[in-house]
Amino acid sequence: MTRYSYLGPAGTFAQAALNRLMQAEDVGIPYANVTAALNAVRSGEVESALVPIENSVEGVVARTLDELAIGDPLVITAETTLPVTFVLMAKEFVALDSITRVSSHPHAEAQCRHFIAAQLPHAEVILTSSTAQAASEVAQSDSLQDAAIAAAVAAENYGLKILASEIGDNDDAVTRFVVVSKPGKLPDPTGHDRTSLAVFIGADHAGALLEILTELAVRGVNLTFIQSRPTGRELGHYHFVMDAEGHVVDARVGDALSALKRICEDVRFLGSYPRADRLPPTNHQTTSDANFLTSSHWVEELRNGLAT
């Protein structure tokens, strides 16, 4: 049995994502925010946490990046992406034009604006602190709201009826969630892995990012994500959070990390784990494990006077 903390409340997309990953015997426990969910791993209350890291519409979840980069060390062991599909829910199956008050979280409201304008033109929109809270309030007997816009899982949690599905403006919106654990045995390489890093550069080191990318590029390691983040509290002092193709056990990835460790003020390994999209790394003729092995062997032979 694995206990998972997750970004609550229950009934949000995080719970839906966790449901995809959990085994029957596993347990999911909602926490009020990302930090609390991750601290539950650090303290041993749970084995793993599931937290959002990036949404295709709203962008990265800075709290998650900062906790991983700066907080007590944790590593990502898995990822999953979840389509962000909103549904309209109410206590009973009612006609849409009877709805006078609809509640939701501001992000969800922003992403369902076309549906609201077309189908609920006369409804007042009430903003709440989460989509689950919107659903929860609708479910109350004395609710002032007629309907809520939330994740489908909230309808299930609160016993609501789904009046309309996939009502978001952007059907392709997705959120990437990561499973985070204490450092330990890594997931085995699968051939379609991702390695996450936080790379810290010394102050006033102009050109540092170019050096970092050069070390990756000469070894054929591509990035799939990069973001500069202020390291301290003030704007102006930065580190970079990066996702690279490949697994640290791949020769080219390990070699590149070794180089970053040499040249950067600090490098923190944030995990090697299978990509949700199962895309293999960009292929390079010269950067296979076999190429690295052969060329290292040649240098050993040179050093022993056995080759030229």
CB-nearer residue toward its own copies: 98 or 258 = 258
Binding of its own copies by 114 (CB under 8 A) = no
Is the distance from CB of 228 to CB of 165 less than 8 angstroms?
no
CB-nearer residue toward its own copies: 165 or 278 = 278
Phi, psi of 164 (to 5 degrees): -155, 140
CB-nearer residue toward its own copies: 161 or 224 = 224
Which residue has 């990265």 as its token pair?
Answer: 60
Least distance between its own copies and beta carbon 162 (Å): 23
Which residue has 């409340």 as its token pair?
Answer: 9
Q: What are all long-range contacts of 38-46, with beta carbons under 8 Å and residues at least 24 apart?
A: 38/5, 38/64, 38/67, 38/71, 38/74, 38/180, 40/5, 41/5, 41/74, 41/180, 41/181, 41/182, 42/71, 42/72, 42/74, 42/182, 45/3, 45/5, 46/3, 46/4, 46/5
For its own copies, the binding residues in 215-274 under the rule CB under 8 A are 215, 217-218, 222-230, 232-236, 238, 240, 248-249, 254-255, 257-259, 261-263, 268-270
Total residues at the site for its own copies (CB under 8 A)?
93
For its own copies, the binding residues in 127-166 under the rule CB under 8 A are 127-130, 133
Q: Which residues make beta-bridge pairs with 245? A: 194
β pairing state of 48-55 and 3-7:
parallel
CB-nearer residue toward its own copies: 119 or 224 = 224
CB-nearer residue toward its own copies: 165 or 258 = 258
Least distance between its own copies and beta carbon 198 (Å): 9
Q: Distance between CA 88 and CA 298 in Å, rounded?
A: 65
Q: Distance between CA 68 and CA 182 in Å, rounded?
A: 11
CB-nearer residue toward its own copies: 161 or 255 = 255
For its own copies, the binding residues in 29-88 under the rule CB under 8 A are 33, 35, 54-63, 65-66, 73, 75, 81
Among the listed residues 19, 80, 143, 291, the single contact to its own copies using CB under 8 A: 291
The single-letter code of the amino acid at 149 is I
For its own copies, the binding residues in 182-211 under the rule CB under 8 A are 183-186, 204, 206-207, 209-211
